[in-house]
Amino acid sequence: MKKQGIALPLAAVLAAGALLTGCGGPSTPVDTGSGGPGSSSGGTSTADLVYGCNWLFESDSQTANIAYPDTNAVYWVAALPDTIPSGDKIEITSNSAAARYFSFSIYNENGKAESSANDADIFGAAATPANLVPAGQPYTASVIYSLVTSSSGTVLVANPSDVSTRHPAHKFMLYRQYLPTNGSADFGNLPVLTYVAKSGTRTPLASTPDQASCNTILNNIRTLLSGGSSSGSSSGSSSSSGALSPAPAVKPPKMTVYPLTLGRFQNLDVRYMDEKTNDTLGDMLLVRGKAPAFASGSSAPQVRYWSICSDEFHAPRRVVECLPDKDATIGADGYYNIIISTQTPPSGYQAEFNYLSWGADAFGAPIYRQLLASSSFNQSINSAGLLGQVDPSLVMGAYYPDTTYCSNSVFSSNVAAGAATVFSACKSSQGVGSVVDPGNP
């Protein structure tokens, strides 16, 4: 059973100003426990975190639909101290999750990534990251604090010099799972977090010696949210403040690579492509590309996971629907074909097309994800490089997620000839156009 708590859209804090992260969720009650170093008879001091907070927040698209979460992913969040004494560490112990993928990432309080370790790193499969890591294997990983050590394998490194000026100072650790099964993402099955002192003293974070500080972190979040801070304040290019004019949606549409350096709380294992669309530029948007082989679906996967999501462009940047690789209809030619529209597609689409609904926002932001591409997959998003910033189709070739608008009449006239013919006819007949974006209301 998932540990229940107060429903807080924590992603409004964790993902403020961020795109394509999907972090955050409801808080869970902080367990009571004894005080630790710095404690007084009234409980632990809230001046700083000494040990850290056990898993506090859980998020998926049902609990915190903001900043484009993938509907097939779940995130758990813990708070860790900004600094700890030299020689101390935070230990993570568990068995490999029954999930397509899992990872741990360390961020400063503002969402800047400091280090990460995925399941392939932990189990020494970094040379073939696209391969599935079998569930149920025991592991131990550690978080250390160092300015000179780099993360490697089972060691994540936190930056002790990047200290928050807010109270109480802390970092975040995120535990991610994609396509979890068998309750692996439930609170009772989460990895065990233990503070291990240089002397050997072990303090489980589940006993919450930092209870008062952890509650202060929760209260700070509540205050921020109740004070009127909304996810819309982070809309960036969609802002209606007048400082920047939001970009229009244009036809023909074109998927571009999303820079990994942008946004907060980024998952460094995922590469993204997106575009801006509008539902008045056609009756539907079609997405077509060659499907990469994925883990659990192939003995020689090219990526661990891929998906395509329909999303609402404007803040709070909600996800509408996602199609994971395992559910995609793949044609005999190896291509997926997806319809995104505000209405049910014309008759006959089910044979070769998947359907995703558009959403309530006239402006859409469809997103194509690839997670942990194999180094030998030379047509991945990750391989696009600098050329991919100009025209990713030149590098990705058939694997490029091509898009076009289409009318119901053109679709219906060609659907009997197959998806490839439909896409070609739609692309040649879509014309050109643009729709000005008025920004967030």
Place 319 in a pLDDT band, splitting at 50, 70 and 90: confident
Cα distance between residue 252 and residue 71, in whole Å? 28
In this structure, are 265 and 119 located in the same domain?
no
* Domain enclosing residue 332, as ranges: 237-435
Whether residue 440 lies inside any domain: the answer is no
Question: pLDDT per residue over 403-435, tens digit each?
Answer: 999 999 999 999 999 999 999 999 999 999 999
Residue 134 carries which side chain, given as an amino acid letter? P
Output the six-digit token pair for 344. 């049910």
pLDDT (tens digit, 9 = 90+) per residue, 361-375?
Answer: 999 999 999 999 999
Query: Whole-angstrom Cα distance, residue 378 to residue 356?
Result: 29
pLDDT, position 41: 28
Alpha helix segments (H runs only) across 4-117: 11-14
Q: Which three-class secondary structure state does DSSP give residue 217?
A: helix
Q: What are the tens digits of pLDDT across the range 149-174?
A: 888 899 999 999 998 887 788 999 99
Q: In this structure, are 321 and 336 located in the same domain?
A: yes
- CA atoms of 149 and 141, how far apart (whole Å): 15
Chain segment 383-405, per-residue pLDDT in tens: 887 666 779 999 999 999 999 99
Q: Are residues 206 and 264 in the same domain?
A: no
Structure confidence at residue 242 (pLDDT): 39
User: For residue range 112-163, what is the model confidence (pLDDT) as tens digits?
Assistant: 899 999 999 999 987 789 999 999 999 999 999 999 888 889 999 999 999 8
CB neighbours of 82 closer than 8 A, spacing ≥ 6?
48, 49, 109, 160, 162, 163, 164, 169, 170, 171
Whether residue 124 sits in one domain with residue 153: yes
Tell which of 211, 231, 251 closes a domain: 231
Residues 129 and 44 in one domain: yes
- Does any domain span residue 168? yes
Is residue 1 in some structural domain?
Answer: no
Please, what is the Cα angle at 108 between 106 and 114, to 5 degrees?
45
Does some domain include residue 4? no
Strand-pair category, 354-357 with 202-204: unpaired
How many separate domains does the chain show? Answer: 2
